[in-house]
């Protein structure tokens, strides 16, 4: 399920119309951390999932929570 989170994250960044650096700034995280999330090298924290839920475009809050939980390996 991490693949679904990654593809949704990249799609959200594109819908937001931001570069990796610009989207990282909007989320108040480092570009390196965002890059690691997009490449599947790191798993999202609950804090990051909550920040994504606040983004005005993209999946619903519930969907982000489900995808993020699955990306972390949590059983739902």
pLDDT at 1 over 60: no
Q: Per the domain annotation, does 55 fall within a domain?
A: yes
Q: Per the domain annotation, does 57 fall within a domain?
A: yes
pLDDT tens-place string over residues 20-70: 999 999 889 999 999 999 999 998 888 888 888 777 666 555 666 666 666
Please state at what angle helix 20-27 crosses helix 2-16, rounded to 10 degrees.
Answer: 100
Q: Per the domain annotation, does 65 fall within a domain?
A: yes
Q: Per the domain annotation, does 50 fall within a domain?
A: yes
Q: Per the domain annotation, does 8 fall within a domain?
A: yes
Q: Per the domain annotation, does 76 fall within a domain?
A: no
Q: How far is CA 20 from CA 2, 16, 34, 56, 76, in A?
A: 19, 11, 7, 17, 30
pTM of the model: 0.74
pLDDT tens-place string over residues 17-31: 889 999 999 889 999
Tell me, what CATH number does 31's domain have? 1.10.260.40
Domain range enclosing 63: 2-71
pLDDT at 9 over 80: yes
Q: Per the domain annotation, does 13 fall within a domain?
A: yes
Total domains, the chain:
1
Q: Per the domain annotation, does 10 fall within a domain?
A: yes
């Amino acid at each position: 399920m991490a693949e679904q989170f990654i593809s949704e994250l990249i799609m959200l960044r594109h819908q937001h119309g931001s570069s990796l650096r610009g989207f990282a700034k909007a989320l108040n995280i480092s570009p390196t951390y965002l890059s690691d999330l997009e490449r599947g090298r790191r798993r999202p924290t609950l804090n990051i999932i909550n920040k994504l839920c606040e983004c005005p475009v993209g999946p619903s809050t519930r969907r982000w929570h489900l995808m993020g939980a699955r990306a972390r390996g949590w059983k739902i």
